[in-house]
Structure 1
Amino acid sequence: MTSSLNPAAAAAPAGASSGVLADYRGRLGDHGPDPLLGSDELIAGGDVRPTQLLLADAIEAMGQGGLLAARAETRRLVHDDGIRYGVGGIDGIRDRHWRLDPLPVVLTSEEWSGLERGIQQRATLLAALLEDLYGDRLLLRRGVIPAEVVLGHPGFLRQVDGIRSRGGLVLGAHDLGRDTDGTWRVLADRTSAPSGAGYAMANRRVTTRVLAGLHRSTELARLRGFFHTMSAAVREAAPPTSEVPRVVLLSPGPMSETAYDQSFLASLLGFPLAESDDLMLRNGRVWLRAAGRLEPVDVVLRRVDPEYCDSLDLRADSQLGLPGLVEATRQGNVTVANPLGAQVLENPGLAPFLPAVAQALLGEDLQLAGKPAWWCGDRDGLAHVLANIDRLVLRPIATGGEVEAQLGGHLSAEGRDRLRRRIESEPWAWIGQEPLPLSTTPVVTPTGLTPGRLVLRTFWAERDGERHVMPGGLARAATGPSQLHVSNSGGAIAKDVWVLAPETAEAGWGDPGVRPDLVAVRPRAVVAPRVADNLFWLGRYAERAEAAGRILRVCDDLVEDHAARPGTPGEQAMRALLAAATAITRVPGDPAQPRQHVRTMVSDPLQSGSLRYAADRLGDAAQRVRDQLSQDIWHVLSRLDRTLAHVPSDEHQLQPRLYDVLESLLAVSGVIAESMVRDETWGFLDGGIRLERAQFTVALLASTIAHERPPIIDGQLTEAVLEVGESILTHRRRTVAGEGPVWPIHSAVSLLLLDKGNPRSVAFSVDRLVEDLRLVGDDVLAAKAEALADHIARVDLVEACTGDRSGLGEILAEVRATLHAVSDDLTRRRFARKTSQRTLPISWAVTS
């Protein structure tokens, strides 16, 4: 194996390329160096870098048409996998799909090896620096770092000063960019709650499917092993008193910009995703809560900003953290990874001093540095910055505030004067830094390959005293004018990073003598109320959407057949079923426009009873418990979303679209049923399905056959109800064979209310509900549901359907009331959230 993408082509002379690459070469212009193409001399000669020949050949082979097809396929797969970035929510206004370019960034094993050593050294340095800043502070005492740079930074948390966090910096990330000479330089350190590792794995999963042939022919360093190492590293940080560490990933919730990254990372690591509501503090320990049970937590892998993690010691108005968490860490009862004070290391004001820090703490030169920087709190540094303000990047050391980094050359004369005055008023709060002319990478666009400025985020985890670096990372490319803000929030597009395996790499699983970590068996994990609630409603919305699809499909069929025949029995049966659908969905409509009414019940996303609304809420509930679900479900939910996004107009039939919707919903049910272990999580989800199905069927019967009508209308309506309940074939077969009631009304009640063998019946659903309630450990509600099952079993079919059927109506009303009571009791007993906690600020008044 060689370090080239194409072993055969690596030895061949680099030939001139044409077509797409020739056009790309012409677009480079004054951009920085490009890893795909060679130096300026090589570009003039028409050559490609030897290590990039296979990628270049693939680009030329695909041509513009193939590249656009790959781009479209990438977008489809991102949509199918449900990869999202941005603030979520019911309206989805700021929630959008991840943007990913199909072409990877390729790094040779030699280049990566040097970069990896620099990352490991920098990670070691930052860990030692963090320990000193919250310990003896020798670097500040000796003047290696000015005290103002550290103590004046909001990331330095005095509340955690002196806490010796077990494990220290467990995880880290660094944003890197290439200089004009190809040297990698640090743009920013991410040490507080580094994000993006989940996105990096998601990128790899998509890219390898889009470029399957290229991926198969290229020996790459794999990513999966890094997540095993990360999981072990986090568990290793647990307090020594914990024999079997329990870890939770603390998330701000589904409204977080990186909610997908958090849930996918939790799945990769095997840790439960927790929110503030899922945790509580008792006796100085953190606990994962459920009704009647508590599970001790040893490590909190946080993705919540530090100031929001504790409303007692930190930000008083926070609802995202856990009051008392700082004190729990001080007592050594829980480890927070990374430590709450680690954000001070993200301070850009440290950049001018890190070379000296490396000598002081490691006795080594800094291998991976940023561009030269000057602190304005120093007289000489201030003079240099002000004299060169038109060509430097000016950064406030308190990043993330109202003022961001600015390139002096991009400001007007008036703007530079304002900035100069601001720096002079607070010189200690600013640094000036040489700008980094980022290298470029090709990005597929509708008009061809476009150079995008490249930023690479690398990730590492500390285990057994060694820093392990993910082979690759998360690349982002920006094609806009800004050189300073290459970020996903700023519109950059992500790229996969392929690190070529070295020649000595062994195929397969690696050293056969290395055994996986063995974890002791512990009691089954609890299901937090928030998770249980969302699983329950995931099941309910899945069933609600399917039920709506079934009744609206039959309604639409009757409308097509009978809407133009007023006064006929078929038209009256149609209106009766349409009235039932209206009562169940509560979507208003004009009786004179039945066709439009059906379409409204199908597609209106703002009507809470519509099919579209239920499908949207299904997707929203799934996003909230993503770490509990099979990856396969996102393909189905994406297809469902695309199907409902375009409902045909009145001139076209609705039936094919409804069949597609039901096909997707049946696939959702199949994925859930065949992928979930029958534990407590299944009990809550399936319990939601059974309650919803039973309630729908009861409402359907109560709105239709519980009311006596003329026999010919009654017969047609009953058959329509049986079709909605997926029982029409059984009814016909039993009737012909003499195995069931002769009268359709008796058959419908028997099949849809009483038959314990019919999965669409109320009796069947209640029996399954009893099993689900026992599975979640609620014997009280299980007994209540079991009593309901016994009551249904004692119903006299003939008596219930005799006369005006008021007896049937009373039975259905009683069953409905009991089902609602079980649902309400389950919500109260198992889904109760914590009481809102808020620290009251105290105003200190001085009196004479």
Structure 2
Amino acid sequence: MSVTGNKMTGDPPDPMVYTRPPGLTDEVYDREGRMRGHWQYLLDSLQQLGSDSLRERQLKAERILRDDGATYTLASDSLNSRTWGLDPVPLLLESEEWSQIEAGLIERTELLNLLLQDIYGPRELLRCGILPPELIYSHQGFLRPCQGVQLPGEHQLILHSADMLRAADGSMVVIGDRTQTPSGAGYALENRTVMRRVFPSLFRDSHVHRLSLFFNTLRHTLNRLAPPGNLSNGDLPTVVILTPGAYSETYFEHTYLANYLGYPLVQGGDLTVRNGYVWMKSLDGLTRVDVILRRVDDNFCDPVELRSDSHLGVPGLLEVLRAGRVAVANPLGSGVLENPALLKYLPRISQYFLGHDLQLSSVPSYWCGEPDDLAYVLANLDKLVIKRCSRRSGEYGVFVSDLDARQKQELIARIKQHPHHFAAQDFLSPSLTPSWHDNSLTSRPSLLRSFTVAGQGAYAVMPGGLTRIGVDIDSRLIANQIGSLSKDTWVLASEPEKHLSLQPRPGDEPQPQLRQYTNLPSRMVENLFWMGRYGERADTAIRLLRTVFMQLNAAQRLPEDSERLLLRAVTEMTLTLPGFTSDDPKLYAHPEAELLSVICDSHRTGSVKSSLMAMLNCAEEVKELLSADIQRIINDIRDELNGLEGSVSRGMTSAPEESLDPLITALLALSGLYQDSMFRGLGWRFLQIGRRLEKAQQVATLLRTLLVPVHGDSDDGLALESALLTAEALNTYRRRYRAETNIVSGLGLLLVDRSNPRSLIYQLDKLRTDLAQLPKRSQGPEMPREQRLVLEVYSAVQLAEMRLLAGPDATAASRVALDTLLKLVQQRLNAVAVAISEDFFDHTGGPQQLVNTGWKSEL
């Protein structure tokens, strides 16, 4: 294969031929410009595919990632989550080189494990003068309450990740360690899953090392961490993954790992400390927790002893840790190892503990807390990267050469004011690697993060890891937060890797059955309940708005009273008060702005967009329970919301209802998938209860708004037609009755017709069935109060006479009997929602500090 463009003829370079800028370190070419052998097959294969085919593979990868819900959240607004970026060209490492990197990573993790044990144990390194005390004690990650806390076994550091780049001499150099809550392993697994689907034959023929052994080791290690006193003979430990919640930037990874490992995903509010143990709160009561794999930063894990303003942790967790009744991985306090200034002292620490230098070197580093280092840093700022010793979210290393004179002086002033808060590192230019950009192979700087997990007796390393690349060829900063893409990392074996089976072989000891986690935290069922309610609330609002647009844009202009009736119904159904309930002639003369606000104003409670965003937020909280098909529809709804205001605004002068049709279709698809793609557990049951409860409420409100007032024959006919159209029952009504609209028959279809899946009695019937399947909260023989309330409503609707309900009162102004019945329905169903919330959803707070500690980040 030719590796350069045709310079002799002046032809444009082949977009499928990879060339590198001269003088820079490259993954494909050695220092003499020769292509490394292990890249040949991949680049040949890509060239045979051609640019069009590779573009199609890239689009396929993007679709898979989107359908999987693989996101990286950049802000607390769920609509701003972006799909995880994956470059279709993998990074390749040959097996021989990887063996050396792997040995160096294992050695480095062993050393960090010894360092962690020493910092929270005897502190020999401080006594011997190898580490300055200020380096440890001034660091935000050093937690004094964790002194003496020990995990079972020889390894305290369970997970470790290291960021590496290839230096100019070709060696791999570590530029940073992550030991608190190392992230990226789940994204690496997702990248691998996608690449195997996009390039199945190329992946198979390349003999790529598998990642499954790493995660199997993690699973077995977490099970072994359970305190022995917690378990009875034959019991398996209860392991949970603690997440900050759906607004965490890596929340997808938390849900992905929870599903892959088979552990419940919990938030701080799902756990409680009682009687000296940690418990998970679920519908079935309390389940004792043995091991917590945390994704919450150290300082937020216990508001009683650490940050008092934290709502992410478990109050009292440290006390249980000290008693040895729960294990947390990584242990609290391990964030102290992330101090970039520690890299300066690792060679000395290695000599002290291991008796030799580390195989995998670190980037030359300096700590400004030492006078000599401070003088060197201030004298050589333009060659250095300045980092805070305590990492802050959203902050990155400062490349001093990129600063102007004023910014440089401000940085110098900050360093001089708090020198022990800053470290510096020599700037090493990352090696370049092929990337698919703008339909051609181009060079991008790359950074590799690899992962280590404690195994039984030794550490195990993920083969490869997560590679990230810069957004431009001259990017100095490589980070997901600024839009860097990721790559799958292929460690190439010399021959096909043997398939590792988890099934026991003949003669092996029988393995205990894996525990089935059927208990759901009450937070999750509450989110499912409200996910159902918000979805149905939005569905009814959209259908009513569509009806209103169709009636207002009919061939014949509506009478003024009829128009006011429909517009007022919009406000009363969505509760976007005051809206059309105010007697404002200008508002009724030009209703477009108010209708647009009811649809698109996300800050207006009750609007379509507000309800759908609330539904999406609930869906994020229960992401691990939703099927891939449901996730796909959720993504479609999010996409529609992003462009909703533009599409509705463009259609306001002609047919605005058409811009709402895609949302109706998506919500219908979601409803169908609830029936076909979810297991019939308690979570599904609460989702259905929420949907039925909201549908019943919406039917009652719709009828009360449109049919209780009496306006005369023509207006009554329009009101009934609008109610039937909103409830998708108009065609059925016409087929059955074939006469002009009649309130009696219309009420029968919408209230008591069991063959109509949108009738009130149908919803109440399903609601009774679902409520009867819930666990009973009391031991007495009486019926639970929510079931009693629904039975009361069900009986009242079932016994109602349509002719009596359709009859107006003596003044012929309203239908009093109908109003009384519907008001009863609304009140009792509201009481049902309150009863469900009080009986099944947990709203109690745990212990908190009486005095705010004023815990602050470093200056």
Instruction: Give the shorter-chain TM-score range.
Output: 0.7 to 0.9
Give the Cα separation in 2 of the matches to 1:115 and 1:768.
60
Deviation for aligned residue 1:416: 7.2
Q: Deviations over 1:78-103 (max 9, x none)?
A: 444433323543575x6444333333
Q: Equivalent residues in 2 for 1:83-232 (5 A)? A: 83-90=70-77, 92=79, 95-167=81-153, 168-211=156-199, 214-215=202-203, 218-232=206-220
**Residue 769 of structure 1 aligns to which amino acid in structure 2?**
L
Q: Equivalent residues in 2 for 1:224-303 (5 A)? A: 224-240=212-228, 241-242=230-231, 243-290=235-282, 293-303=285-295
Q: Equivalent residues in 2 for 1:306-321 (5 A)? A: 306-321=298-313
**Residue 172 of structure 2 aligns to which amino acid in structure 1?**
W
Q: Deviations over 1:284-339 (max 9, x none)?
A: 21112246822211112211211121222222332322222111100011111110
Q: Equivalent residues in 2 for 1:563-574 (5 A)? A: 564-567=556-559
Give the Cα separation in 1 of the matches to 2:552 and 2:207.
60
Contact persistence 1:319–1:837 (CA under 8 A) = no
> Which sits farther off after the overlay, 393-402 or 178-187?
393-402
Partner of 1:357: 349
Match of residue 674, structure 1, among 673, 676, 680: 676
> Which sits farther off after the overlay, 276-285 or 821-830?
821-830
> Which sits farther off after the overlay, 188-197 or 823-832?
823-832
Secondary structure of the 1:811 match is helix
Change in 2 beyond 3 A, CA 1:608/1:315:
closer
Q: Does 1:582 align with 2:579?
A: no
Give the Cα separation in 1 of the matches to 2:87 and 2:697.
46
**Residue 798 of structure 1 aligns to which amino acid in structure 2?**
R
Give the Cα separation in 1 of the matches to 2:136 and 2:144.
11
Match of residue 526, structure 2, among 522, 528, 533: 533
Deviation for aligned residue 1:512: 7.2
Give the Cα separation in 2 of the matches to 1:540 and 1:402.
35
> Which sits farther off after the overlay, 700-709 or 677-686?
700-709
Contact persistence 1:123–1:172 (CA under 8 A) = yes
Secondary structure of the 1:496 match is strand
Q: Equivalent residues in 2 for 1:686-697 (5 A)? A: 686-697=688-699
Give the Cα separation in 2 of the matches to 1:188 and 1:620.
34
Match of residue 723, structure 2, among 721, 724, 727: 721
Contact persistence 1:272–1:627 (CA under 8 A) = no
Partner of 2:761: 763
Q: Does 1:807 align with 2:817?
A: yes
Partner of 1:488: 480
Give the Cα separation in 2 of the matches to 1:81 and 1:265.
13
Give the Cα separation in 2 of the matches to 1:97 and 1:699.
39
Deviation for aligned residue 1:513: 3.3
Deviation for aligned residue 1:419: 6.8
Contact persistence 1:298–1:334 (CA under 8 A) = yes
Partner of 1:326: 318
Q: Equivalent residues in 2 for 1:584-733 (5 A)? A: 584-587=573-576, 588=579, 590-593=587-590, 600-644=597-641, 645=643, 646-647=647-648, 648-650=650-652, 653-733=655-735
Change in 2 beyond 3 A, CA 1:823/1:386:
closer
Contact persistence 1:251–1:274 (CA under 8 A) = yes
**Residue 806 of structure 2 aligns to which amino acid in structure 1?**
C
Contact persistence 2:5–2:17 (CA under 8 A) = no
Give the Cα separation in 1 of the matches to 2:296 and 2:490.
30
Partner of 2:799: 794
Partner of 1:833: 843
TM-score by length of 2: 0.85
Structure 2: gaps spanning 5 or more residues: 7-11, 581-586, 777-783, 810-814, 855-859
Secondary structure of the 2:756 match is coil
Give the Cα separation in 2 of the matches to 1:746 and 1:303.
59
Partner of 2:30: 39
Match of residue 347, structure 1, among 336, 339, 347: 339
Give the Cα separation in 2 of the matches to 1:298 and 1:782.
36
Q: Equivalent residues in 2 for 1:20-31 (5 A)? A: 28-30=21-23
Give the Cα separation in 2 of the matches to 1:427 and 1:780.
64
Contact persistence 1:438–1:483 (CA under 8 A) = no
Give the Cα separation in 1 of the matches to 2:398 and 2:468.
20
Secondary structure of the 2:309 match is coil
Give the Cα separation in 2 of the matches to 1:69 and 1:403.
36
Contact persistence 1:555–1:598 (CA under 8 A) = no
Contact persistence 2:16–2:46 (CA under 8 A) = no
**Residue 237 of structure 2 aligns to which amino acid in structure 1?**
P
**Residue 826 of structure 1 aligns to which amino acid in structure 2?**
I
> Which sits farther off after the overlay, 294-303 or 407-416?
407-416
Partner of 2:469: 477
Partner of 2:434: 442
**Residue 777 of structure 1 aligns to which amino acid in structure 2?**
P
Matched residue pairs, number? 817
Deviation for aligned residue 1:481: 8.5
Deviation for aligned residue 1:811: 0.7
Contact persistence 2:20–2:26 (CA under 8 A) = no
Secondary structure of the 1:28 match is coil
Secondary structure of the 1:348 match is coil
Q: Deviations over 1:58-85 (max 9, x none)?
A: 5545666666665555555544443332
Deviation for aligned residue 1:769: 1.9
Give the Cα separation in 2 of the matches to 1:565 and 1:422.
70
> Which sits farther off after the overlay, 682-691 or 228-237?
228-237
Give the Cα separation in 2 of the matches to 1:486 and 1:396.
17
Deviation for aligned residue 1:372: 3.5
Give the Cα separation in 2 of the matches to 1:652 and 1:407.
55
Contact persistence 1:719–1:728 (CA under 8 A) = yes
**Residue 86 of structure 1 aligns to which amino acid in structure 2?**
T
Partner of 1:50: 37
Secondary structure of the 2:89 match is coil
Secondary structure of the 1:437 match is coil
Deviation for aligned residue 1:566: 4.2
**Residue 256 of structure 1 aligns to which amino acid in structure 2?**
S
Match of residue 495, structure 2, among 496, 499, 503: 503
Q: Equivalent residues in 2 for 1:423-462 (5 A)? A: 432-446=424-438, 448-462=440-454
Change in 2 beyond 3 A, CA 1:342/1:438:
same
Secondary structure of the 1:107 match is strand
Give the Cα separation in 1 of the matches to 2:68 and 2:564.
41
Change in 2 beyond 3 A, CA 1:310/1:606:
closer
- Aligned-residue CA RMSD (Å): 3.7
Deviation for aligned residue 1:580: 2.5
Contact persistence 1:437–1:483 (CA under 8 A) = no
Give the Cα separation in 2 of the matches to 1:396 and 1:759.
61
Change in 2 beyond 3 A, CA 1:678/1:415:
closer
Give the Cα separation in 2 of the matches to 1:374 and 1:843.
32
Secondary structure of the 1:773 match is helix
Contact persistence 2:504–2:510 (CA under 8 A) = no
TM-score by length of 1: 0.86
Give the Cα separation in 2 of the matches to 1:14 and 1:356.
48
> Which sits farther off after the overlay, 492-501 or 539-548?
492-501
Give the Cα separation in 1 of the matches to 2:92 and 2:849.
51
Q: Deviations over 1:102-148 (max 9, x none)?
A: 33223333333332232222222222222222222333333444444
Give the Cα separation in 2 of the matches to 1:401 and 1:561.
55
